[in-house]
Structure 1
Amino acid sequence: MPYVNIQVTREGVTPAQKAELIAGVTQLLVRVLDKQPATTHVVIQEIELDNWGVGGLPVPEFRKQAAS
């Protein structure tokens, strides 16, 4: 029973995009590992930008520095 956790920043990922991710990851596991779609679990977590860090900084600060 595969379990895949996809984490993205909360920046407007649409329900259609989430459905496409779920279908795509499921099909990848079917094709590569011969897993059954009925027992494949895909979870998408949306993380607030302040709770995501890059380069030792929260994403908003990292982006400010990268833009300057």
Structure 2
Amino acid sequence: MPGIVDLSAEFNIAASTAQKALAHLRTTGVVRTELGLGTFVADKWKTDTRGAPERYLRGSAAVKARRTSAQPLR
């Protein structure tokens, strides 16, 4: 997988946000990090992640909209 700097540039997010996302993926067993080698998608995931990208993106879009919107979201 790309590193923190590349992920933050690609998705136009802060490096700390990319780092938190990778930490969450590590915790849920979706990715594994090997010191000196990088981060890789795990062969088998610890949890059921079907639909996870969509849920994450939906939540992320709502947070971003709240930050940029002058009007409250409903």
Q: TM-score, normalised by structure 1?
A: 0.31
- Structure with the bigger percentage of strand: 1
Bigger relative contact order, structure 1 or 2, given CA contacts below 8 A and separation 6+?
1
Q: TM-score, normalised by structure 2?
A: 0.29
